[in-house]
Amino acid sequence: MKQFLSFLLAAIAGGLIALGGVSLLDNESDISSSDIPVQQVSYINKAPIPGGNMIDFTKAAQMANPVVVHITATAGKANASNNSKSDDPFRFFFGEEQPMSGSGSGVIYTADGYIVTNSHVVEFADDLEVILYDNRQFKAKVIGINKKTDLAIIKIEANDLPTLEFADSDKAQVGEWTLAVGNPFDLMSTVTAGIISAKGRSLRLLKDRDAIESFIQTDAAVNPGNSGGALIDANGRLLGINTAIASQTGVFQGYSFAIPINLVKRIADDIIEYGSYKRAFLGVNIYPLDSETAQSLGIKISQGVVIDRIEDNGSAQYAGLYPKDVIVKVDEKEIRGVPDLAEAIGLSKVGDVIDVTINRKGQTLTIPVKMRPEPDN
């Protein structure tokens, strides 16, 4: 029987863990407490890396631990009910008016108390408590949420907090070592290691046609409670925000996914300044190029994104893009598929002029596109 992986979010107030689908994964704290099952493992003598150099993660871990916080989020009766009505199979037994509590992680974004986390960690919360690495506790308030990227900014009243240098996630390479830092199962300040397995992954997690998904995939162990925690590189720089795992059981089984820091910065800075993400709008319906489509279009390229339809009053319409144009590059970023284009446009700002390189009937053209605001904005 064919089995499917589920892509799971470590949520504050989720519901059913469904194999073969997209679902939220609880890390609820109002369930009766029990010991986490622990097994002893034997010592493994790891072979040295060719060339005789072992990678030392101790400095990176020491830099990251003080920057990652524990978040406890409590939803009042109304929010708990709203979050559970549609997907909670146990509401028949327990009713729909129970407060819900859960936990996740966050990363200190600025020294004056702004913290970045996942929107699914805090979106239903009426009360937020943040515990720092030094065990100081603060009440927090939500500054802004963007569900289309699963990012949120919360704020505590504190100063002189530690922060991390930002990596350039565009320059991260498959095969690079990374560390995931967070609070899985309420195990504070847990650090795991793995390599970047892939970039530009789209999992259709966010259930929105305009969602921006271009995840960094790693094999660093991530579990419930890690959501909103840090993915850092071997130099201790912030590379991404951990968001999801691929699992058949609800716990880590090999792959985890993080939002790249370049996108995080773009959205976080907007939320801090304006209270929301001011998204630029290209205004196209697209699909990935495949060999059959390339043949039907009479073009000799194998990667790109095909414009299916141009939306009215979008940036693409005003710039002179047309259906059947194949987008292959935005500025200097190669566009291999839909996630690459979604991230590139997501990084742009309203008023920016970006160079969109297309293949039109076999001819390569570069068209300047002035980015217009999303219609709702």
**From the candidates 227, 247, 256, 315, which is the catalytic residue?**
227
pLDDT higher than 60, residue 163:
yes
- 84 as an active site residue: the answer is no
Q: Write down the residue that tokens 């579990």 correspond to.
A: 223
Rounded CA-CA distance 248/75 in Å is: 27
- 150 as an active site residue: the answer is yes
Whether CATH 3.40.50.2300 fits 280-373: no
For residue 364, which phi and psi values (nearest 5 degrees)? -90, 125
Q: Given pLDDT bands bounded at 50, 70 and 90, which one contains residue 185?
A: confident
What per-residue confidence (pLDDT) applies to 338?
92
Residue 81 tokens, joined: 């009910």
> Which residues sit opposite 141 in a β-bridge?
155
Of 16-30, 197-211, 266-280, which one has max mean pLDDT? 266-280
In the chain, the percentage of residues whose pLDDT exceeds 70 is 76
Q: What is the pTM of this model?
A: 0.79
**From the candidates 120, 270, 315, 348, which is the catalytic residue?**
120
What per-residue confidence (pLDDT) applies to 252?
54
Buried b / exposed e across 52-84, counting CB within 10 Å, b at 16+?
Answer: eeeeebeebbebbbbbbbbbbbbbeeebbbebb
Q: How many CB atoms lie within 10 A of CB 188?
A: 16
Helix residue ranges per DSSP H, 100-149: 119-122
What per-residue confidence (pLDDT) applies to 98?
55
Q: How does strand 22-26 pair with strand 6-11? A: parallel
Domain ranges within the chain, ordered by starting residue: 280-373
Q: How many CB atoms lie within 10 A of CB 303?
A: 15
Q: How many CB atoms lie within 10 A of CB 4?
A: 10
Nearest to 267 by CA among 136, 140, 374: 374
- 120 as an active site residue: the answer is yes
Rounded CA-CA distance 372/313 in Å is: 9
| CA 376 and chain centroid, separation | 23
- Could you tell me the CA-to-CA distances from 167 to 63, 172, 201, 282, 356 in Å, in that order? 14, 8, 19, 27, 25
Residue 356 tokens, joined: 């969109």
**From the candidates 26, 88, 150, 325, which is the catalytic residue?**
150
Length of the chain equals 377
For residue 91, which phi and psi values (nearest 5 degrees)? -65, -25
| CA 233 and chain centroid, separation | 16
Q: Tell me the average pLDDT across 116-134.
A: 94
First to last CA, the chain: 47
What per-residue confidence (pLDDT) applies to 99?
60
